[in-house]
């Protein structure tokens, strides 16, 4: 089986600013209809982001073969060069010179409240990036434009490539009927605990019922680990305590990378989920979604230490 993974999703820039005050002191409820505010942000950083970019980054660190499937604008050439420098296959990254790369602008105050704006840019044309004919052992359909997610899912299904459906930030775009259609196309569902509740509510099905029609469903629960639904069982996968809690941005993507790596290597779902939990724990100790690093030999040792798993990476 091919170990290539078609990683469908957004490739974006995250611009993160810190306001050294509190939004609540400047946004007056009685004057919200005439809101006009400006925040001085002395701290600013720009991160490589987007679900496809983040998943591909961690999967490559593990020794996997990610093939990101996404669209960027004319300002995304540096991002492509970075991925190529990491040894990532960028043959399925489409450049649309007349548009901007998707960009997320986040301002956080001292109470960790956030004001976010998102510009989709080239992502709105992700459905046109046709992956048909690509060889892969697994795929993932991660948050992207809704029509792009469905286009990738249908193409993967038609090709017979098993894939993970990761709802994530695309949750507001999907109705119950949309979710049921996607669940008929995919083999594995991943979601965090909040997203799982929304999926159950919108589909009218419990996670056990949903998993019965799939190979598995994996629900991440942050510091509490994850839950694997498979073969009528509900299996708790233990968490890996983080050495430091710095930034949760991209932890879900790191988890998906670990899960995909295990599946492409023929590991059991329990083993692959354990690696996913470990990847999330490592990521949270670093700022941004693509700044964490590790040695594969250390990952092998940690898998044995925390889960008793002896696997070669």
- pTM exceeding 0.95: no
For residue 172, give every residue at least 6 positions away whose Cβ sits within 8 Å of its Cβ, in sequence order, or none: none
Domain 4-12+49-102+120-307 has CATH 2.60.120.1090: no
Distance CA 165, CA 159 (A): 16
Q: What is the pLDDT of residue 281?
A: 96
Assess whether pLDDT exceeds 80 at residue 74. yes
pLDDT at residue 205 is higher than 80: yes
What is the 8-class DSSP label of residue 98?
Answer: T
What's the pLDDT score for residue 27? 83
pLDDT digits (tens, 9 = 90+) for 16-36: 888 999 998 888 777 777 888
Closest CA to 190 of 141, 233, 122: 141
Per-residue pLDDT, 246: 85
| CA–CA gap between residue 255 and residue 169 (Å, rounded) | 15
Task: Tell me the per-residue pLDDT of 163-172, one tens digit each, with 9 for 90 and over.
Answer: 999 999 899 9
Q: What is the pLDDT of residue 178?
A: 98
pLDDT at 264: 97
| pLDDT score for 132 | 97
The residue among 223, 237, 205 whose CA lies nearest residue 281 is 223
Three-state SS at 25: helix
Q: pLDDT for 106-149, tens place per residue?
A: 888 888 677 888 899 999 999 999 999 999 999 999 999 999 99
Quickly list H helices, the chain: 51-61, 77-85, 146-159, 176-185, 193-203, 207-212, 251-264, 269-283, 296-307
Local confidence band at 97 (pLDDT 50, 70, 90 cut-offs): very high
pLDDT tens, position by position, 231-249? 999 999 999 999 998 888 8
CA dihedral 313, 255, 290, 86 (to 10 degrees): 30
Which segment of 112-121, 171-180, 217-226 scores lowest on mean pLDDT?
Answer: 112-121
Q: Which of 69, 71, 66 has its CA nearest to residue 88?
A: 66
In b/e form, how buried is each residue of 223-260, taking b as 16+ CB within 10 angstroms? eebbbbbbeeeeeebebbebeeeebebbbbbbbbbbbb
Phi, psi of 249 (to 5 degrees): -60, 120
Question: Domain coordinates of the chain in residue numbers?
Answer: 4-12+49-102+120-307
Q: Which tokens is 237 given?
A: 């996968």
Supply the pLDDT for residue 297: 94
Mean pLDDT across the chain = 95
Count of beta carbons in the 10 Å neighbourhood of residue 54: 32
């Amino acid at each position: 089986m091919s170990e290539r993974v078609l990683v469908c999703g957004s490739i974006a820039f995250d611009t993160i600013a810190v306001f050294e005050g509190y939004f609540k002191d400047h946004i007056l409820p009685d004057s919200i209809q005439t809101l006009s505010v400006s925040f001085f942000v002395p701290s600013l950083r720009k991160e490589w982001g987007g679900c496809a970019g983040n998943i591909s980054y961690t999967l490559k660190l593990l020794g996997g073969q990610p093939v990101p499937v996404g669209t960027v604008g004319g300002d995304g050439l540096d991002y492509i060069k970075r991925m190529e420098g990491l040894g990532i296959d960028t043959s399925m990254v489409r450049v649309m010179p007349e548009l901007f790369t998707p960009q997320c602008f986040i301002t956080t105050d001292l109470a960790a409240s956030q004001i976010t704006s998102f510009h989709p840019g080239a992502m709105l044309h992700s459905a046109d990036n046709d992956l048909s004919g690509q060889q892969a052992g697994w795929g993932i359909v991660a948050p992207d434009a809704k029509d792009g997610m469905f286009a990738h899912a249908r193409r993967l299904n038609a090709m017979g490539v098993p894939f993970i459906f990761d709802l994530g930030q695309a949750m507001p775009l999907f109705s119950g009927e949309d979710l049921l259609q996607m669940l008929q196309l995919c083999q594995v569902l991943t979601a965090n605990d909040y997203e799982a509740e929304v999926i159950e509510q919108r589909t009218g099905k419990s996670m056990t019922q949903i998993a019965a029609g799939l190979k598995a469903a994996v629900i991440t629960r942050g510091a509490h680990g994850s839950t694997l639904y498979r073969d009528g069982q509900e299996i708790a996968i233990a968490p890996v305590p983080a050495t430091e809690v710095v930034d949760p941005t991209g932890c879900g993507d790191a988890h998906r990378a670990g899960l995909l790596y295990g599946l492409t290597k023929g590991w059991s779902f329990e083993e692959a989920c354990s690696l996913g939990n470990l990847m999330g724990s490592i990521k949270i100790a670093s700022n941004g979604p693509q700044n964490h690093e590790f040695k594969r030999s250390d990952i092998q040792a940690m898998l044995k230490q925390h889960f008793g798993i002896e696997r070669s990476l």
